[in-house]
Amino acid sequence: MNDKTATAKAHTNIALIKYWGKKDRELNLPTTSSLSLTLNEFYTITAVTEGKEDTLLINNMMQDPKRIHQFLDFLRQNVGDFPPLTVISRNMVPTSAGLASSASSFAALTAAVAKYNDWDLSEKELSRLARRGSGSATRSFFPGFAVWHEGTDDESSFAEALPATDLPIALVVCEIAGTVKKVSSSDGMMRAMTSPNYAAWVEESKQQFEEMQAAIAAKDLAKIGELAEKNALDMHALNLTATDRRFTYFNQMTQDILAKVKELRQAGFLAYATLDAGPNVKIITSQDQAETIQAKLKEAFPKLRLEIATPGPGFSYIKED
């Protein structure tokens, strides 16, 4: 057996304009273009080496390899064959708690497999391939702000970085639950698409996608926060109005934190909320207000775990010794 190992690191990202619906499930094409910020503090490092069968270890624990096995088979059939792999991941993202660990995981895995096989792929090609593992992974190769163009086919649905900016944005991440979410993002978005308001959300999202890029170029943090909060809360309203098994990711703590964010804003702070497929609230603010906001949240909710996140780098390869 070959003892070659390839290792890659990718950071997770938070969508400011969300991906929440698929127009093609087979190709994993989204109904809308989305826009994200890569986060410095949360990342995954993945090493791949030949094994007897595809296996997955996350933070030294054996996991069900079904999802990555399907993805590895997709790569074998579409890019080039390779032997069964042992995949060893170190995940610095609270797994499956709405902090999109699948984004950094599938981006790191795609890059590690490409390196293992000496595939000479561009960032755009890596991004397109990772899309088939997890939609949000499409955006996790790039530093700072990234856009995922919805596209119309396999070729045209990929992500790229927006021009670099020194915007002093920060997130205060409130980790409400570290438990596994009950409704997977794939299931959640299929149900949300049955909401009578879905088409209107898609239309508005197109507009917000353009406005968000303008707000980033203008370094208008308040506008960025305002647009992101509206886009996210309207996305969550689709879950509540789904005709197929309506649901919510919110719990009481989510509601209490959202109320606190509003209160902070009324008191003159720059604070806007966004949430993904889980109860955790991420507060969008500026780097100079992040610690004060963190302290205010801690004061109101002493048991809450809080972390500050800032813009992060693109993916990288890690040299083996």
Contact between 144 and ligand PMV by CB under 6 A: the answer reads no
Contact between 312 and ligand PMV by CB under 6 A: the answer reads no
Strand pairing class (85-91; 55-58): parallel
Contact between 134 and ligand PMV by CB under 6 A: the answer reads yes
**Sign of the alpha-carbon dihedral angle for 69, 72, 76, 81:** negative
User: CA 166 → CA 69, 208, 215, distances in Å?
Assistant: 39, 22, 13
From 32, 185, 289, 294, residue interacting with ligand PMV (rule: CB under 6 A): 185
Contact between 19 and ligand PMV by CB under 6 A: the answer reads yes
From 88, 100, 192, 284, residue interacting with ligand PMV (rule: CB under 6 A): 100
**What beta strand segments (E) does the chain contain?**
5-17, 22-24, 29-30, 34-50, 55-58, 61-63, 85-91, 145-148, 159-161, 169-175, 272-274, 281-286, 305-309, 316-318
From 6, 8, 15, 68, residue interacting with ligand PMV (rule: CB under 6 A): 15
Residues sharing a CB contact under 8 Å with residue 9, sequence separation 6 or more, in sequence order: 43, 44, 45, 46, 108, 315, 316, 317, 318
Min dist. Cβ of residue 288 to ligand PMV (A): 27
- The structure tokens 């604070």 sit at 271
Contact between 239 and ligand PMV by CB under 6 A: the answer reads no
Please classify residue 141 by burial: count the beta carbons closer than 10 Å to its beta carbon, then call 0-12 exposed, 13-18 middle and 19+ buried. buried
From 32, 89, 96, 102, residue interacting with ligand PMV (rule: CB under 6 A): 102
Stretch that binds ligand PMV, among 38-46, 70-78, 111-119, 134-142 (CB under 6 A): 134-142
Which is closer to ligand PMV, CB of 230 or CB of 298?
230
Site string for ligand PMV, 269-288 (x = CB under 6 A): -------xx-----------
Query: Where along the sequence are the contacts to ligand PMV (CB under 6 A)?
Result: 15, 18-20, 34, 100, 102-103, 134-136, 185-186, 276-277
